[in-house]
């Protein structure tokens, strides 16, 4: 019987919650800020693991990142994925989402037969949600966002039924394979890391590193040159002027003070 081959694309991101700001120099303090696997990608890994439990098959994780991301790949190997590919080369530096999605699409092509491609719906560092649609466009595949679950996978019929959640409704779609899926945020809380699996990362070495030697991509299509958008400058975010009136003391008096002001502002119902 045919088993599904699932690719999950993940991103190694700075832990934005830990980023600090240096008011003296006006810069972000990124040193010492740990990087993590984008938390929303863990939902995608979890959905892949659930799918493999039900239908068998193989899970291949792909990330485009500097070598440090190996730590993140070991983390997801700890969750139980079969293979991990680190796409890493200086020539990919400076990629915007067009160049990134191109590189990822070419990586997926090189993997060979793939039935399902999962991504976390967005990343915590840039939260554009571009990559799933862009990868689908490069590979000429159907795509679908905000998916919570795989309802039915029929490899023989070449189709999958997925359920997704919009603001006010659930929708079920039947999609032809292969398909690119954006996995909804918070939809599949990740399982804990198993020590046995973690050891596999060391003993079996399932991490492969692919540079542009393997991929052979035209330098005009990758990195800075393959990126139509550029960051022309960075400035402070102007603050919204607020009154900043503070009351410290007895709660009852504080509330009286607050209500008086809110009445003056005419914002109470």
Partner 1 sequence: MSKKKEVNCEELCPEWECTQPSEYSGIWVVGEIDETEETISEPSLQMLTPANYIASKLGVEVEGLLLGYDKELLEKAAHEMIYHGANRVRILTSNKLKPYIAEVYARIISQIVDKYKPEVVFFPATMKGRELAPYVANTLRAGITADCTQFDVDEKTGDVLMIRPPFAAILLAYIKTPTRRPQIGTARPNVFPKPPRDASRKGEILWEDEKEYKIPRPRTRLVRVEYMKREEIPIEKAEYIVSGGRGVGTLEGFKMLEELAELLGGVVAGSRKAVDLGLIPHDKQVGQTGKAVKAKLYIAVGISGAAQHVVGIRECRVVVAINKDPDAPIFKHADYGIVGDWREIVTELIKALRERTKKAS
Cα–Cα distances in angstroms (integers) from residue 217 to residues 96, 141, 209, 210, 230, in the given order: 16, 20, 16, 12, 21
Q: Cα 185 vs. chain centroid, distance in angstroms? A: 9
DSSP for 44-97, written as a single string:
HHHHHHHHHHHH--EEEEEEE--GGGHHHHHHHHHHT-SEEEEE--GGGTT--H
Give least dist CB 220 to partner 1, A: 4
Contact between 146 and 121 (Cβ < 8 Å): yes
Is residue 93 near partner 1 by the rule CB under 8 A? no
Among 83, 130, 191, 198, binds partner 1 (CB under 8 A): 130
Positions in 200-239 near partner 1 (CB under 8 A): 218, 220-221, 225-239
Positions in 134-173 near partner 1 (CB under 8 A): 134, 136-138, 142-146, 161, 166-173
Give least dist CB 70 to partner 1, A: 22
Which residue is it, tokens 């997926």? Answer: 108
The piece of 47-55, 68-76, 204-212, 252-260 that touches partner 1 (CB under 8 A) is: 252-260
Is residue 32 near partner 1 by the rule CB under 8 A? no
Task: Identify the helix (H) or strand (E) that includes residue 105.
Answer: helix 97-111
Positions in 8-27 near partner 1 (CB under 8 A): 14, 16-17, 19, 21
Among 35, 63, 95, 97, binds partner 1 (CB under 8 A): 97
């Amino acid at each position: 019987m045919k088993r599904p081959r699932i690719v999950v694309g993940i991103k190694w991101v700075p832990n934005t919650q830990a980023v600090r700001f240096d008011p003296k120099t006006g810069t972000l303090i990124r040193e010492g800020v740990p990087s993590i696997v984008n938390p929303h990608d863990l939902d995608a890994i979890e959905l892949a693991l659930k799918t493999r439990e039900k239908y068998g098959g193989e899970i291949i994780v792909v990330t485009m990142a500097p070598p440090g991301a190996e730590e993140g790949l070991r983390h997801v190997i700890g969750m139980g994925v079969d293979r991990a590919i680190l796409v890493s080369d200086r020539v990919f530096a400076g990629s915007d989402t067009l160049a990134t999605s191109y590189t990822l699409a070419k990586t997926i092509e090189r993997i060979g037969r793939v039935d399902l491609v999962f991504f976390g719906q967005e990343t915590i560092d840039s939260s554009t949600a571009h990559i799933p649609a862009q990868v689908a466009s490069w590979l000429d595949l159907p795509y679908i966002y905000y998916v919570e679950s795989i309802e039915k996978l029929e490899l023989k019929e070449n189709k999958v039924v997925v359920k997704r959640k919009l603001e006010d409704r659930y929708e079920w779609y039947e999609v032809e394979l292969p398909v690119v899926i954006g996995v909804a945020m918070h939809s599949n809380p990740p399982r804990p890391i198993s020590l046995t699996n973690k050891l596999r990362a060391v003993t079996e070495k399932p991490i492969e590193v692919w540079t542009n030697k393997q991929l052979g991509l035209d330098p005009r299509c990758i990195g800075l040159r393959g990126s139509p958008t550029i960051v022309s400058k960075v400035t402070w975010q102007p603050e919204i002027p607020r009154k900043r009136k503070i009351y410290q003391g007895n709660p009852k008096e504080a509330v009286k003070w607050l209500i008086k002001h809110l009445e003056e502002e005419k914002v109470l119902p």
